[in-house]
Structure 1
Amino acid sequence: MQHKEDSPGTRREIRSKYRELILSVQKNREDMLSASNNKLTEVLEKANKLFQDVRQPREAALDAQLLVVTTDLGNEKASQLSAEGASFDSVAFTEHLLSYMGLKRLTNGEDGQQNGAAFGYLPQDAWQKVAQRAENCFRAAPSFHYM
């Protein structure tokens, strides 16, 4: 006796969903390579849910094909990120650092604006806070590797 999961209609539906995922990855390749979105992760999550219903070799072969396509795309995305990693946004870094340090902005009524620029002050322990955070990064010995 066949279970509901083993019916030809269910198997056909699973294969169809896998083909749709593979096709969407191939069509939206450029979108998925963008560092600003998580579409590749979403596809992998859908594939994981779909894999729970895989019972036959044909569906498993489609899962493997999707895995190959997404792995290639993930590899390309990782290479792209490491190539783009050379750019450093100093303004964003400075904003995050000052926010972490607890910058206290002066209100409009105070003498905190000159030539349209807003000023503020840092708490006395601001640099100690950064030092403690940086100290955590240096507690472990650096890994050794050959060039």
Structure 2
Amino acid sequence: MQTIQQALAMSQQGRLKPAIAALERLTKKRGAPPDAYHFLGMLQSRDGRLEQALFNLERASKMAPGRPQFASNHAGVLTAAGRMEEALEHYRVALAADETYAPAHVGLAGVLTNLGHLAEAEREAREAWRLAPDNPEAAANLGS
């Protein structure tokens, strides 16, 4: 976990490449925790390395299927890659793990809007706003 904390600190200092390198070294070791793959995937996404990010996010999700943030973040990167149908599936996996996980409702509403499922998108946006009224993304989805 120390390496993950160090990588977090590096990324917060704007040192994205060294943070990614530290996590890549960690994930090559046997028994690396799912958090390492998840965080690596998120940083790779920020660095524009979407395919590598998706690989690591998928691995993290498989290692820890009950973690809604893993599935939701995976869905977010799939959305960024334009893979809406897959993103839809992963947001639903996140909500199956925790139906009160507001970020998944926010993301799902956005994907549903992109796919033209407006009534369902509105329901998800309202649920996100109900769960997290202070979340600006939840409120923004209601306005779209």
Q: Tell me the TM-score normalised to structure 2 length.
A: 0.27
Larger relative contact order (CA 8 Å, sep ≥ 6): 1
Q: Tell me the TM-score normalised to structure 1 length.
A: 0.26
Which has the greater radius of gyration?
1
Structure with the largest fraction of strand: 1
